[in-house]
Amino acid sequence: MSFQITAAAPEHPGLLLELPWQVPLEEWPAEQLVALPRGISRHVVRFARAGGEVVAVKEVGEFNAVREYGLLRDLHRLGVPAVEPVAVVTGRTDGGVEALEPVLITHHLKGSMPYRAMFETTMRPSTVNRLLDALAVLLVRLHLVGFAWGDCSLSNTLFRRDAGAYAAYLVDAETGQLQPQLSDGQRAYDIEIARVNVAGELMDLEAGGSLHPSVDPVSFGDALAARYADLWHELTRASVYSRNFRHKIDDRIRRLNELGFDVAEMQIQHSPDGAKVTILPKAVDAGHHQRQLLRLTGLDAEENQARSLLNDLETYTAHQDDYLPGDPLSASREVVAHRWVREVFRPTVRLVPKALRARMDTAQLYHEILEHRWYLSEQQEGDVGLEHAVEDYVRNVLVHLPDPVAALED
C-alpha cells in the first residue's frame, strides 16, 4: 500500500495513518465512520474518526483536491468563515494496481448542520429569513477578501446557531477563485447564481413537503440578493462629510455594528469639498473587543463597552498624522492607543466631578458620555465636542442617577 499525505499541520499525518486509504470511501467500515448529517454533494463524502477528532473526507480528482485545499487554507488565513482544511491524500491504490481517487480532508465544524437536516422539521419563515441573512453576510465577507465563490448555494454551506441568529460557513470551495479584488460583474454573477440556487433548493424542499406554506421560494431568493446589496452598500460606500462630521462617522459605525460588522480600519482624506471617509469593515468573534481593548490600552471592560471605546479610538487614530498603516517609520497602533488613553480617555473622565464618578464603572461612564455626545450632535446637527457633552451629561443625566454607595448605606 502506498499513498502521500499533504497536511496543514505536523500532527495531522500521524492521526490520518490509521484510516483505510486502500479502500474506496464508499466502502469504509462502519466502525471507522461517524453518523453525522450530510448535505447533498457531487462527490462521496464521509465523516470519520482520526485520533479522537472527527474529520470530513471527500473523494475528488487530484487537481481539484489540491486546489481546494489551497483555497481553504487561504480563507482560513484571511479569517473567513469556512471549514478548516486538514490534508490531501493522493496516490491511493486498492492494494493492487487499481488507482483510487484522492481525498480532501477537513475538520468537522462542531455544532454545524447542513440545511436539509435543519428542514427536517418545518421551519418558520422568520427562521428561513435568518438563514438567508447568514448566507448574505458570508457572501459579503467572501467578496470583501476577493473570493468569487462560483457556486453559492445552501448545499455548499453549513449553518451554526449563533445566539438568536445563525452563522454560515463555506464548505465547498471547489469552484472558487481568490483575487486581489472582485469586479462588480464578478460579484453580480455570484449573486445571480446564489439567487437561482437558493430558489431551486427551496422549491425542492417545497416539493418534498418540508417547506412552510407561506414561504415562496422565488421571493426568498430575491430577498437574499436584496439583503446582500444592502449590506455591500453600507459596508463599502465612501462618504463625504463637511468639516463638522464627527457625529456622522459615529452614526455610520453604529449602523455597521448593527449589521454585525466592526471597523478594521478608517481613512479620512481632506479635500476642498469636505472629508472623504472610507471604512474597511470586518466581522468579529465574541469577546474580540474585550481582548483588543485590553491589549491596546490596558483597559478592562465588558464587550459592548469595549466596542464603544474601540470605535472612539479608531476615529481618533484616523486623525493622527503620524499613524500610517504599513509604514515602518510611523507610530505603532499601540503607541496611538496609549496616546488616546492619555489625551482623551482619562482627561474626559476627570472632567466628571469625583463624587459622581463612583455611580458607574469608568468604562461605562465613558461609553455613556460618547452616547450623550452622539445624541446632542444629532440634535444640533453638528459635533458638540467631548467637553460640552460631559458638562451636559453631568448636569442633566448623571446627577439624577441613584448613588450606589448611598443605596448600600441605606
pTM over 0.75: no
pLDDT at residue 163 in the model = 47
Neighbours of 46 (CB within 10 A): 18
Tens of pLDDT, residue by residue over 150-174, are 999 999 999 887 545 677 899 999 9
Question: CB neighbours of 263 closer than 8 A, spacing ≥ 6?
Answer: 253, 256, 279, 280, 281, 282, 310, 311, 314
What is the torsion angle, in degrees rounded to the nearest 10, for the CA atoms of residue 10, residue 13, residue 16 and residue 21?
160
Segments of the chain assigned to CATH 1.10.510.10: 112-235
The CA distance from 216 to 361, in Å, is 50
Question: CB neighbours of 381 closer than 8 A, spacing ≥ 6?
Answer: none
pLDDT at residue 392 in the model = 95
The domain 4-107: what is its CATH number?
Answer: 3.30.200
pLDDT tens, the chain, 410 aa long: 567 877 766 555 566 778 888 889 899 988 888 888 777 778 899 998 887 788 899 999 999 999 999 999 999 888 888 999 998 989 888 877 788 999 999 988 887 888 888 787 667 887 888 888 889 889 998 998 899 999 999 999 998 875 456 778 999 999 999 999 999 999 999 999 999 999 999 999 888 888 888 889 999 999 999 989 988 887 777 666 655 566 777 777 777 766 666 666 666 666 666 666 666 666 555 566 788 888 899 998 887 788 889 989 988 888 887 776 656 656 788 889 999 999 999 999 999 998 898 788 899 999 999 999 999 988 888 888 999 999 999 999 998 887 654 544 54
For residue 334, report the phi and psi dihedrals to the nearest 5 degrees: -65, -40
Topology (CATH level 3) of domain 112-235? Transferase(Phosphotransferase); domain 1 (1.10.510)
For residue 230, which of 199, 261, 271, 200 has the smallest C-alpha distance?
261
pLDDT at residue 234 in the model = 78
Question: CB neighbours of 56 closer than 8 A, spacing ≥ 6?
Answer: 45, 46, 47, 83, 105, 106, 107, 108
The string over 384-406, giving b where at least 16 C-beta atoms fall within 10 Å of a residue's C-beta and e elsewhere, is bebeebbebbbeeebeeeeeeee
Segments of the chain assigned to CATH 3.30.200: 4-107
Tens of pLDDT, residue by residue over 69-101, are 999 999 988 888 899 999 898 988 887 778 899
How many Å from the N-terminal Cα to the C-terminal Cα in the chain? 81
